[in-house]
Amino acid sequence: MRNLRYKEFGFDYTGEGPSDRYRKFENITDLEKWIRKKYPYAIYSSTAFYEIPEEMEGWLGSELVFDLDVKDMPLRTCSCKRGDVCEICLNDAKDYVYIILDSLKELGLKDIHVIFSGRGYHIRVVDEEILNLESFERAEILKFVIGCEPIDLEEEIKGYAYYKTFKRTILEFLKRLDYSKKFGRYKRYISYIKKILSIDDLNSMRRSKIFRELINDVVKVNREILDSKVTVDLKRLIRLPSSLHSKVGLICKEVKNLYKFNPIYDARPKVLR
Ligand SMILES: [Zn+2]
């Protein structure tokens, strides 16, 4: 079922998005022939598998996808403006990818692939048990993997896994504040977070006003890290690994060793190296 024959393909010939959709290929040779004939700017394939991809009919399931577009990442350790990316933030985003990967592994998922999208990262999960999840279930997983919901401060904190994810995102938040020291109202958290990091049980801080404000601000930032529309959309087209991101000129490709991966060097087309 995971064969490319069950995927919908889309092509962009103008740089404005995939205008030619609903394409189906029986095998990789046919896809290659099409690409050589049409020379598209960019190539996309569906996260969904269909019996009839050319009509988007007979839905068989969809990959679970998380999209981290670095140009929209809220807090960064570089001086990029929103909308831009540089070598520093492309590398910096990997810290969030590690958090997501660890959270997914805590859920028992194994068939997880990290794809450099050209301007960020796609985390694509193809374990059998997630393929038929509904949108609302995917939205719940998204909250879990990146800390999009305040930890419950009124009750005993249940479920160690989410607590751990959340604590790691607080650390990322602090790291970014510390680097740039220009985040306006967030600045007041710097010394406070350093103090609470020495305390193991965040629950004991629940009566403190600044702690509640911090939690709410971390949640707000975390909600912007991933594009939730991509995760909940069961019929999304996303960039095909091995194709070129035409806006930045880097190759969308699977990352086998995230630690060693250098986006600017490793995803540059060979002719430019
Ligand atoms: Zn940057």
To the query of whether residue 20 is one of the catalytic residues in this protein, the response is no
Quote the pLDDT of residue 209. Answer: 84
With a CB cutoff of 8 Å and minimum separation 6, the contacts of 54 are 8, 22, 23, 24
Distance 118 CA to ligand 1 centre (A): 14
Quote the pLDDT of residue 64. Answer: 98
Quote the pLDDT of residue 32. Answer: 95
The sign of the dihedral angle between the CA atoms of 118, 121, 122, 127 is positive
To the query of whether residue 227 is one of the catalytic residues in this protein, the response is yes
To the query of whether residue 200 is one of the catalytic residues in this protein, the response is no
Give the count of alpha carbons within 13 A of 117, CB side only. Answer: 24
Instruction: Report pTM.
Output: 0.92
Distance separating alpha carbons of residues 240 and 44, to the nearest angstrom: 5
Distance 69 CA to ligand 1 centre (A): 12
Instruction: Answer for the pair 147, 218: CB distance below 8 angstroms, yes or no.
Output: yes
Tell me the pairing of strands 250-251 and 20-23.
unpaired
Quote the pLDDT of residue 199. Answer: 64
Distance 52 CA to ligand 1 centre (A): 41
Distance separating alpha carbons of residues 154 and 146, to the nearest angstrom: 21
Q: Among residues 72, 95, 102, 227, which one is catalytic?
A: 227
Q: Among residues 69, 72, 152, 201, which one is catalytic?
A: 69
Distance 264 CA to ligand 1 centre (A): 12
Distance 25 CA to ligand 1 centre (A): 38
Q: Which two tokens stand for residue 62?
A: 């969809």
Distance 208 CA to ligand 1 centre (A): 34
Distance separating alpha carbons of residues 268 and 273, to the nearest angstrom: 7
Distance separating alpha carbons of residues 66 and 117, to the nearest angstrom: 11
Distance 263 CA to ligand 1 centre (A): 12
Quote the pLDDT of residue 152. Answer: 67
Distance 76 CA to ligand 1 centre (A): 7
φ, ψ (nearest 5 deg) of residue 68: -110, 100
Distance 124 CA to ligand 1 centre (A): 24
Q: Among residues 12, 67, 92, 233, which one is catalytic?
A: 67
Domain positions in the chain are 4-62, 65-228
Q: Which two tokens stand for residue 216?
A: 């709410």
Positions in the chain short of pLDDT 70: 1, 152-160, 181-182, 198-207, 271-273
Quote the pLDDT of residue 189. Answer: 86
